[in-house]
A = this chain, B = another copy of it.
Amino acid sequence: MSGRQLYFKCECLQKGGAFKFRGACNAVFSLNDEDASKGVVTHSSGNHAAALALAAKLRGIPSYIVIPKNAPTCKIENVKRYGGQIVWSEASVQSREEVANKVWQETGAIFIHPYNDGRILSGQGTISLEILEQVPHIDTLVVPISGGGLISGIALAAKSINPAIRIFAAEPKGANDAALSKAAGRIIRLPETDTIADGLRAFLGDFTWPVVRDLVEDIITVEDSEIIKATKLCFEILKVVVEPSGAIGLAAVLSDTFQKNPSWKECNHIGIVISGGNVDLAVLWDSLKKGK
């Protein structure tokens, strides 16, 4: 379909159903015993939340998870399943940060940011080690971008192994802060976002932005309709359960933007990172039917 060889890194099969467990695990197990004993706190649209709860459970320390009220039910269930203590916030990034700050003041729990943190980046970077061990001739990686933790870790690790490898970000048109930031040469935040890809609504941080600026070749933005089509393909052809945010890399590779760009004709062995598979089937199905 794409005229290239595609390799899928299925992080939906990761513990917790998303790549986030890599970074969370690295962060939690990097803490010294005294810090760890107070527990960890974070705010997250969901996958980082479940991952941190699971990592904390494995280390036997408490986790406090600030979750916006509009988070998908299945992601909230995951946090509960792994023993995270849920603290509710409003949907805005500002509200999430305020509530997390309050928890920190009350408990002394160590704040683990979902992406703007070196321990998190390093953890996510292990994806590159695995992909390039399994398929050394991959020349291109396409990675969903939200706050930039995933792609920064992947880019740093992959480029250190093969400096010629090309890294592309895939981003929804309705949350295109990374594309705008890259064009402007500075971090741009959006007043609001509108996309079915609920995991891709965060904005770049000061830690991830320089990596995205310097190591990511381009940001490919796609419509929600393309994301939905790619999600369906993952179900029907790959037979894996993905969330729309997870399917965006495939959407980007199949998009006209990518296919018709002459300087990307040589991208022949493409690794696509399917970032996660935590999706409410009911909600997904309604989206597929509407073909929104």
B-binding residues in A (CB < 8 A) = 10, 12-13, 17, 74, 232, 235-236, 239-242, 277, 281-282, 285, 288-289
Question: How far is it, in angstroms, between the C-alpha of A125 and the C-alpha of B236 when the chains are bound?
Answer: 26
State whether B240 touches A281 (Cβ < 8 A): no
State whether A235 touches B17 (Cβ < 8 A): no
A-B contact pairs, 21 of them (CB 8 A): A10-B239, A12-B239, A13-B239, A17-B239, A74-B236, A232-B281, A235-B241, A235-B281, A236-B241, A236-B281, A239-B240, A239-B241, A239-B242, A239-B277, A240-B240, A240-B241, A241-B241, A281-B285, A281-B288, A282-B289, A285-B285
Question: How far is it, in angstroms, between the C-alpha of A74 and the C-alpha of B233 when the chains are bound?
Answer: 12
Residue numbers in B under 8 Å from A282 (CB-CB):
289
Question: How far is it, in angstroms, between the C-alpha of A239 and the C-alpha of B278 when the chains are bound?
Answer: 8
In the complex, the count of this chain's copies comes to: 2
Residue numbers in B under 8 Å from A12 (CB-CB):
239
Question: How far is it, in angstroms, between the C-alpha of A39 and the C-alpha of B12 when the chains are bound?
Answer: 41
